[in-house]
Structure 1
Amino acid sequence: MQSDLDMASASLSNSLYDLDLLLRSGVLHQSNAIVLSHPGPCSSKEDLVFFIRDLFTRLQIGGIEFKNKALESLLHLLGRDENSASLVSKEGNIGYLIHLLDFSHNSSIREHATTAVSVLASENDESRKCVFEEGGLGPLLRILETGSMPMKEKALAAVEAITADPENSWAVSAYGGVSVLIEACRSGSVVTQSHAVGAIRNVAHVEEIKNSLAEEGAVPVLIQLLVSGTSSTQEKAANCIALLASSGEYFRALIVQQRGVHRLMVLIQEVSNPDTLEHVLRAISSLSGFDSSTRILSSSTAFIIQLGEFIKHGNVLLQQISASLLASLSISDGNKRAIGDCMGSLVKLMESPKPVGLQESAAEALSSLLTVRSNRKELVRDEKSVMRLVQMLDPKNEVVQCKIFPVMVVAAVVGGGTSQGCRKRLMAAGVHHHLQRLSEMKVAGANKALQRLSGNRLLNSIFSRRTWRE
Structure 2
Amino acid sequence: MGGEVEEQEKRHSSLRQTIEFLSSLISLSHSIKVFAAKWQSIRSKLEDLNGGLIAVENCDSDDNPVIRELVLNLMVTITECYDLARRCVDFSYSGKLLMQSDLDVISSKFDAHSKRLSEIYDAGILTVGFALVVSRPNFGACREDMRFYVRDLVTRMKIGDSEMKRQALMNLHLAVTEDEKYVNAIAELGDVVNVIANFLDSPETEIQEGSAKVMSVIAGFDSCKNVLIGAGAIAPLVRVLESGNEPGKEASARCLMKLTENSDNAWSVSAHGGVTALLKICSLPDCRAELIGPACGVLKNLTGVEEMRRFMAEEGAISTFTKLARSKDETVQINSIELLNNITFGDEVIREMVVKEGGIRALLRVIEPRSPCSSKTRETALRAIQNMCFASNSLVGILLNYSFVDHLIFFLRNGEVSVQELALKIAVRLSGTSEEAKKALGDAGFMQELVKFLDSKSFEVREMAVEALSGMVLVPRNRKRFAQDDRNIGLILQLLDPEKENSGNRKLLLSILMSLTSSHSGRRKISSSGHLKNVEKLAEAEVYDAKKLVRKLSTNRFRSMFRGIWHF
* 1:135 match: secondary structure: coil
Counterpart residue number, 1:82: 180
Q: Distance in 2 between matches of 1:28 and 1:221?
A: 48
1:232 aligns with 2:334: no
TM-score, normalising length: structure 1:
0.78
Matches within 5 A, 1:13-92: 24-27=44-47, 34=54, 37-91=135-189
- Describe the shift of the 1:42–1:215 C-alpha distance in structure 2 as closer, same or farther (beyond 3 A): same
Q: Report how far residue 215 of structure 1 moved.
A: 1.5
Counterpart residue number, 1:282: 383
Provide the identity percentage: 22
- Describe the shift of the 1:354–1:202 C-alpha distance in structure 2 as closer, same or farther (beyond 3 A): farther
Q: Verify the 8 A CA contact 1:377 1:422 in the aligned structure 2.
A: no
Among 229, 237, 240, the alignment partner of 1:140 is: 237
Among 316, 323, 327, the alignment partner of 2:428 is: 323
Q: How many equivalent pairs are there?
A: 431
Q: Report how far residue 28 of structure 1 moved.
A: 6.8
- Describe the shift of the 1:449–1:240 C-alpha distance in structure 2 as closer, same or farther (beyond 3 A): farther
1:244 aligns with 2:343: yes
Counterpart residue number, 2:11: none
Q: Letter of the 2:385 partner, please give it.
A: I
Q: Distance in 2 between matches of 1:31 and 1:138?
A: 30
Q: Report how far residue 424 of structure 1 moved.
A: 3.9
Q: Report how far residue 428 of structure 1 moved.
A: 1.9
Counterpart residue number, 1:298: 400
Counterpart residue number, 1:7: none
Q: Distance in 2 between matches of 1:351 and 1:70?
A: 57
Question: Is the deviation greater in 333-342 or in 77-86?
Answer: 333-342
Q: Verify the 8 A CA contact 2:209 2:249 in the aligned structure 1.
A: no
Q: Letter of the 2:558 partner, please give it.
A: L
Q: Report how far residue 226 of structure 1 moved.
A: 1.0
Q: Verify the 8 A CA contact 2:208 2:240 in the aligned structure 1.
A: no
1:169 aligns with 2:263: no
Q: Distance in 2 between matches of 1:234 and 1:365?
A: 35
Q: Letter of the 1:326 partner, please give it.
A: S
* 1:247 match: secondary structure: coil
Q: Verify the 8 A CA contact 2:281 2:295 in the aligned structure 1.
A: yes
Matches within 5 A, 1:349-364: 352=459, 358=464, 361-364=467-470
Q: Distance in 2 between matches of 1:377 and 1:322?
A: 22
Gaps of 5+ in 2: 1-39, 56-133, 562-568
Q: Distance in 2 between matches of 1:28 and 1:288?
A: 63
Among 357, 360, 381, the alignment partner of 1:258 is: 357
1:342 aligns with 2:342: no
Counterpart residue number, 2:312: 213
Among 180, 190, 197, the alignment partner of 1:98 is: 197
Counterpart residue number, 2:482: 375
**How big is each residue's C-alpha offset from its partner over 1:435-455, in whole Å with a ceiling of 9 and x where there is no partner?**
6358x5545xx5654455447
Q: Letter of the 1:456 partner, please give it.
A: N
Q: Verify the 8 A CA contact 1:350 1:362 in the aligned structure 2.
A: no
Q: Report how far residue 395 of structure 1 moved.
A: 10
**How big is each residue's C-alpha offset from its partner over 1:328-377, in whole Å with a ceiling of 9 and x where there is no partner?**
2524468535334312245357973599x957853555536882423333
Q: Distance in 2 between matches of 1:153 and 1:31?
A: 31
Q: Verify the 8 A CA contact 1:343 1:366 in the aligned structure 2.
A: no
Q: Distance in 2 between matches of 1:98 and 1:344?
A: 62
- Describe the shift of the 1:421–1:125 C-alpha distance in structure 2 as closer, same or farther (beyond 3 A): farther
1:307 aligns with 2:408: yes
Q: Letter of the 1:282 partner, please give it.
A: R
Q: Report how far residue 324 of structure 1 moved.
A: 0.8
Q: Report how far residue 387 of structure 1 moved.
A: 2.9
Counterpart residue number, 2:288: 189
Q: Letter of the 2:47 partner, please give it.
A: V
Question: Is the deviation greater in 247-256 or in 326-335?
Answer: 326-335
1:130 aligns with 2:227: yes
Q: Report how far residue 398 of structure 1 moved.
A: 7.2
Among 549, 552, 558, the alignment partner of 1:458 is: 558
* 2:485 match: secondary structure: helix
Gaps of 5+ in 1: 1-19, 462-470
* 2:140 match: secondary structure: coil
Q: Report how far residue 186 of structure 1 moved.
A: 0.3
**How big is each residue's C-alpha offset from its partner over 1:194-228, in whole Å with a ceiling of 9 and x where there is no partner?**
11212111111112212111211211211111113
- Superposed CA RMSD in Å reads 3.7
Q: Letter of the 1:145 partner, please give it.
A: E
Question: Is the deviation greater in 277-286 or in 244-253?
Answer: 277-286
Q: Report how far residue 431 of structure 1 moved.
A: 4.3
Counterpart residue number, 2:564: none
Q: Letter of the 2:314 partner, please give it.
A: E
